[in-house]
Amino acid sequence: MEVYGHGCRCLEVSFYYSIHGEYFKVSRYPRGHQNLCIGLYTPRDFLNIVLTTPLRGIINTFGSYQAYYESDLLPNSSASAISWIGSIQAFLLLMVGALTGPLYDAGYFRSLLILGSFLLVLGQMMLSLCHSYWQVLLAQAFCIGMGTGMIFVPSIAILSTYFSTHIGLAIGIAASGSSFGGVIYPIVFHKLLPQLGFAWTTRVLGFIILATMIVPNICMRVRVLPAKSRSLLDLRAFLIPAYSLQVAGFFCGFMGLYMPFFYAQVYALQRHITNENLAFYLLAVMNSTSTFGRIIPNIFADEIGPFNVVIPCTLISALLCFCFIPLSSSAGIIVLMAFYGFFSGSFVSLPPTIVVNLSMDARDKIGTRLGQSFAFISLGVLIGTPIGGVVLEKGGFAALWSFGGSMLVLSGGLLVAARVSWRGWGVLRKA
């Protein structure tokens, strides 16, 4: 590795990879197709897969905790109250990005990674000792949420410094790690819970997270730093109509997106659509297809533009959310969960790609723009599932699925407006 610095904080870093005796040098912004031959877009994407596995993977697993808390650990708490735990956790993952984005830009990636990893493991271990609602709220919502938030935005922003092309695919591959975690964690939770109990099952998951975080803490490095530090916010970005509209669109979308992640398992059990054993695998089914949903659409996004991919995927996800209403068979809910996982995957993986594409003329502000974008979007994550819980208590599951689908429809409309303001009405135009 070569590092060049000329009295400033902006470094030129070159990496050498040996393939069959030949050495390949990667400098400046490597082109995606050049890195593809190295395997998974250089080790950086592999490390991001490892890094994101416990981040959104933990959030994608909360449906299993929701069902267990309602029936066993916190039976006196309402579904809406319990959902606040998961929504605060997801909210902090994004909201803390408002701080970690500028800190990443200022060169504190290593500090954020180490502290975030510590809080992530600490929160999981403390969760194993919890017996009351406020204890679970502190450990799972706040401690784990802040830990994931310190890592999430930097783990995405670092990719933009390694790729000048195929950024969407690079981010999609990295984001697939969270779906992988969403497959593994619910299965481990379901299999170990009857044998070890809640405390030791949670500790085992904590040790898995600890082992997962060791690799990126040792290996991940920042390639290039900005020449100067910046303010916490880049408010001028909101003067770009496409940027503001996409923030509003994803805000609305995330209000409805997590309804199946939080409530589908409870829905299947309470409506007797599946037995208890199969219900615990529904999240694994959805997260497994979400892995492909975070990679395949991103391949097309690099060719035709992220807006042209995320808009139809969002509207299809809305339709699938409405399709939960008439469900009555186990085969039907399995198929529906599989399709929802795939199409909703792009809604999670493409927002960073859109921000990066809208910021190609200001690469040094990508971290800040990602952070503030996620900060506003996180408010939708925060209030979405608790509102869904209230809707469920007042109007039943039909009202819940209608609420989730309606928010995704509204999101699709705002994203269409963002796309038009950026590239115009041309249907075949890359956007």
**298-356 confidence digits (pLDDT tens):** 888 878 889 999 999 999 999 999 999 998 889 999 999 999 999 998 888 888 888 88
Structure tokens at 357: 């594409």
Q: State the pLDDT at residue 231.
A: 66
* pTM, rounded to two decimals: 0.78
Task: Report the CATH superfamily, name and number, of domain 2-423.
Answer: MFS general substrate transporter like domains (1.20.1250.20)
Q: State the pLDDT at residue 9.
A: 34
| Beta-bridge partners for 218 | none
For residue 217, give Cα distances in angstroms to 29, 102, 113, 417: 23, 20, 7, 40
DSSP assignment string, 40-52: SSHHHHHHHHHHH
pLDDT top residue among 366 and 44: 366
Q: CB of 70 within 8 A of CB of 191?
A: no
Q: 83-87, 154-158, 356-360, 388-392: lowest mean pLDDT where? A: 154-158
Q: What is the pLDDT of residues 215-271, one digit of tens each?
A: 777 877 666 665 556 667 788 888 889 999 999 999 999 999 999 988 998 899 888
Q: What is the pLDDT of residues 197-221, one digit of tens each?
A: 999 999 999 998 888 888 777 877 6
For residue 292, give the amino acid letter. Answer: F
Q: Mean pLDDT, the chain, as a whole number?
A: 79
Q: State the pLDDT at residue 412.
A: 95
Tell the residue number behind the tokens 């859109």, with chain if given. 354
* pLDDT surpasses 60 at 83: yes
The 3-state DSSP class for residue 106 equals coil
